[in-house]
Amino acid sequence: MNFGLIIVGDEILSGKRQDKHLAKVIELLSARGLALAWSHYVGDEPARITAILRTAFASGDVVFSCGGIGATPDDHTRQCAAAALGRPLALHPEARELIMARVRLMAAEKGWPDDPEHPDTVHRLNMGVFPEGAEIIANPYNQIPGFSIGDVHFVPGFPVMAHPMIEALLDGRYAHLHGGAAQVERSVVVYGSMEASLTPLMIELEARFPPVKVFSLPSVDHPIHGRHIELGVKGRDGQNLTDAYAALLDGLRHFGAELGPEMVRP
């Protein structure tokens, strides 16, 4: 299965807040031998959110959607998920109990009303209104849950809440996938060559050693190596990758390239 990430919020696109989800989700996946296949940033525009979610539901991928599941006027993700599926919204009974438990706790601490009919409580209960058929995702930070529909999972935009919820899903529901995308990279620094000149070699290697992938990372101002290209292969660790890397080095030497340090990355 592929993994995807959707990050919702005008505050990210405007620069008011820096995104902390992409790097963390990559880290969480990598630690489990998994990889992120795609990511989308989208502002608080219902039509765009709905279109992206419609694609996510149809993809068959495991998708984490961060943000927009609150109950303020700029939170549209719950409504957009329902629209993308053509389902009604409904207060989830388990979410209701979790939210009411939180309300009663805050009432005891701060003297707030805990009447289920009080306007403030009704507003808070809106955070448990999910598309029909949703399952809840436990939120260990404040017990206000997220929700799942199939393999698309909706969590808050706050990293302190979202990241433990995603990690719990990875180690619970998707534990059987761990190691499914573990890859190794083997690369070498190449001096004084142009990518265009090396492209035929890269194409040849991918054709000879599928499913190994070839990558090229040029740099013009590296503090140590200066202008160079890091050229390498990546894929499952094994003989195929070893042979592909040996063929890469042979091809570069035949080309007359000046080679620098070699690197291996898990």
- Which domains, and CATH codes, for the chain? 3-177 (3.40.980.10), 184-265 (3.30.70.600)
Residue 180 has pLDDT above 90, yes or no: no
The residue among 45 and 266 whose pLDDT is bigger is 45
The answer to whether the beta carbons of residues 37 and 61 sit under 8 Å apart is yes
Report pLDDT for 69.
97
Report pLDDT for 238.
83
Token pair, residue 217, equals 């990372």
- Kindly state the percentage of the chain with pLDDT values over 70: 100
The pLDDT-based confidence of 118 (bands split at 50, 70, 90) is: confident
Cα separation, 36 vs 26, whole angstroms: 6
Token pair, residue 41, equals 């940033």
Residue 108 has pLDDT above 90, yes or no: no
Of 108-117, 128-137, 144-153, 187-196, give the lowest mean pLDDT range: 108-117
Residue 87 has pLDDT above 90, yes or no: yes
The answer to whether the beta carbons of residues 4 and 61 sit under 8 Å apart is yes
Overall average pLDDT of the 156-160 stretch: 97
The answer to whether the beta carbons of residues 80 and 131 sit under 8 Å apart is no
Residue 10 has pLDDT above 90, yes or no: yes
Report pLDDT for 236.
84
Mean of all residue pLDDT scores within the chain:
94
Residue 156 has pLDDT above 90, yes or no: yes
Residue 86 has pLDDT above 90, yes or no: yes
Overall average pLDDT of the 64-88 stretch: 97
The three state secondary structure string of the chain is CCEEEEEECHHHHCCCCCCCHHHHHHHHHHCCCCCEEEEEEECCCHHHHHHHHHHHHHHCCEEEEECCCCCCCCCCHHHHHHHHHCCCEEECHHHHHHHHHHHHHHHHHHCCCCCCCCHHHHHHHHHHEEECCCEEECCCCCCCCEEEECCEEEECCCHHHHHHHHHHHHHCCCHHHCCCCCCEEEEEEEECCCHHHHHHHHHHHHHHCCCCEEEEEEEEEECCCEEEEEEEEEECCCHHHHHHHHHHHHHHHHHCCEEEEEEEEC
Overall average pLDDT of the 54-74 stretch: 97
Overall average pLDDT of the 198-208 stretch: 96
Cα separation, 165 vs 24, whole angstroms: 12
The pLDDT-based confidence of 181 (bands split at 50, 70, 90) is: confident
Overall average pLDDT of the 21-40 stretch: 96
Cα separation, 219 vs 56, whole angstroms: 35
Phi first, then psi: give them for residue 38, nearest 5 degrees.
-160, 160
